Amino acid sequence: MSLVELIPLLNSVACLTLTIAIVVAFRDRGLKQQLRALRILVSYITMTLLVNLYMVSVSGTNLQQISLVLSGATIILLWITVYKLWAKGE
C-alpha cells in the first residue's frame, strides 16, 4: 500500500466527515448560511468524486474502490440534506 493509494481514501473520509459536521452544525441556521455551506460542499464533493473516479480507472485497487463508495455515500448524504431543506419549505 503506497501513499498515492492512501491519499484518495483519506480525502474521501475527510470529505464524508466534513459533510456530516457541516450538516449537523448548520441544521438550525438560516437558509442563506445553509446554502452557502452546501455550495462549498458541492464543490469539494465533486472534486473528490472526480479524483476517485480517475484513481479507480488508473489503478483499480480495493482502496480506490472504497474511496469511490465513500464518495457515493457523501453524495447521498448531500441529497438527503437538500431534500430536507426543500421539505421544510425553505
> What predicted TM-score, i.e. pTM, was given to this entire model?
0.79
Query: Is the CB of residue 86 less than 8 Å from the CB of residue 35?
Result: no
Query: Is the CB of residue 18 less than 8 Å from the CB of residue 71?
Result: no
d(CA 19, CA 44): 10
Which DSSP letter does residue 29 get?
Answer: S
4-62: per-residue pLDDT in tens? Answer: 778 888 889 998 898 888 888 888 888 788 888 888 888 888 888 888 888 888 887 88
Residue 27's pLDDT is: 80
Report the b/e string of 38-59 with b at 16+ CB within 10 A: beebeebbeebbebbeebbeee
